[in-house]
Amino acid sequence: MKEEILYEMKSAYRDPFSVHAFSFGSASKTVCILGSLRGNEVQQLYICARLVRRLKQLEQDGRIRRGRGIMIVPCANISSLNIGKRFWAMDNSDINRMFPGYDQGETTQRIAAGIFSKVQGFKYGIQFSSFYLPGSFVPHVRMMETDFADMELAQLFGMPFVVLRKPVPYDTTTLNYNWQLWDTKAFSLYSCNTDTIDEAAASQAESAVLRFLSRLRIISLSVHTGYESTVIDESELLTVRTDAAGIYLPKVRIFDEVEAGQTLAVIMNALTGETLSELRAPRDGIVFFEKQSPLVMEHDSVFRIVAGLHK
């Protein structure tokens, strides 16, 4: 294992801001794995740390195939992580909305440019990402619909779902999109949680990456076959929104199968305990996303359902 500083920026009052990377195998740019870009992505950091430990042992055992190189960047925003703030502390900007970056621009633009200059050129790129809403997802692989999208490759992770997303303008400044523009096969992996550690979900994500590496003959390792991934388009997901504000009490969890008319959650008056609303499933399906929040506002998106699908 080789450790290096991928990018460093001097600070007037503290230690330098540094992005560390860990490389395994040869110098070949085969796979780059990137974890936390935001300060609350603790689960993503944890998964990458597990992968660093695992690949270090695989390298010592001679299980990384000749001519293959793997780089892991566990965290690219240690400053925000240290203070528990999702975005850059000084101006609340999002590094993952700054790619490919600009080395003469604002702070997060310079960070994005420094990182991208080093992770560009890999054959495959894997990012552990998070959603803008606080909540849990069924573990899945997400790809943007570009000329470089490859659904068959995405299925090699063996995760329950592969989601194809049509990019909108703000997606064009994400790492995933820019990786693909520069000929990298890019995948975003979503674990169940973001700001808390879920051991079972982290183990599943670690296995998914090792399965992908094994099936592409990058490492020599026998891994459980996982799921035969179901491919869906993000536009097919049904969104369930609240019709009242109050205390939010979910009755189902991610990956639960639900029937049309089934109660998904109850919203209670925070002062009187009166039931204000019962949210019901619009169709049969599987719960794909569940918002995790004790309080909700009216018209909040709290569930997403894969309609018409049964387990």
The whole-number average pLDDT for the span 178-207 is 94
Q: Which residues of 143-180 are buried (b: 16+ CB within 10 A; e: fewer)?
A: bbeeebbeeebbbbbbbbbbbbbeeeeebebbbbbbbb
Q: Which residues of 229-252 are buried (b: 16+ CB within 10 A; e: fewer)?
A: beebeeeebeebebebbbbbebeb
Distances (CA, A) of 211 to 152, 216, 230, 295, 304: 14, 9, 17, 39, 27
pLDDT per position as a tens digit, 103-159? 999 999 999 999 999 999 999 999 999 987 788 999 999 998 887 788 999 999 999
Q: What percent of the chain has pLDDT over 90?
A: 87
Q: What is the pLDDT of residue 188?
A: 96
Q: What is the pLDDT of residue 142?
A: 94
How many C-beta atoms lie closer than 10 Å to residue 53's C-beta? 13
Structural domains of the chain ordered from first start: 2-228 (3.40.630.10), 235-307 (2.40.50.100)
pLDDT at 170 > cutoff 90: no
Quick one: the chain helix, strand, coil %, rounded to 5?
25, 30, 40
pLDDT per position as a tens digit, 48-97? 999 999 999 999 999 999 999 999 999 999 999 988 899 998 899 999 99
Check the CA dihedral 122-124-127-133 and report its sign. Answer: positive
Check the CA dihedral 162-167-168-172 and report its sign. Answer: positive
Q: What is the pLDDT of residue 285?
A: 97
Q: What is the pLDDT of residue 133?
A: 79
Distances (CA, A) of 94 to 82, 99, 118, 139, 289: 16, 10, 19, 23, 23
Return d(Cα 234, Cα 250) in angstroms, integer: 23
Q: What is the pLDDT of residue 45?
A: 97
Q: What is the pLDDT of residue 131?
A: 85
Return d(Cα 143, Cα 151) in angstroms, integer: 8
Q: Which of 258, 175, 155 is nearest to 215 (CA)?
A: 155
Burial class (CB in 10 A: 0-12, 13-18, 19+), 123: middle
Return d(Cα 172, Cα 98) in angstroms, integer: 9
Q: What is the pLDDT of residue 284?
A: 97
Tokens matching residue 246: 């109050």
Phi-psi map region of 261: left, alpha, beta (phi>0 left; psi -120 to 50 alpha): left
Q: What is the pLDDT of residue 12?
A: 66
Q: Strand pairing of 246-250 and 263-268? A: antiparallel
Q: What is the pLDDT of residue 34?
A: 98
Q: Which of 45, 43, 6 is nearest to 139 (CA)?
A: 43
pLDDT per position as a tens digit, 289-304? 999 899 999 999 999 9
In terms of DSSP H, where are the helices of the chain? 42-60, 78-83, 107-119, 151-154, 175-181, 199-215
Mean pLDDT of the chain: 95
Bridge partners, 183 (sequence order):
none
C-alpha 84 chain-centroid distance: 18
The whole-number average pLDDT for the span 22-50 is 97
Q: What is the pLDDT of residue 15?
A: 83
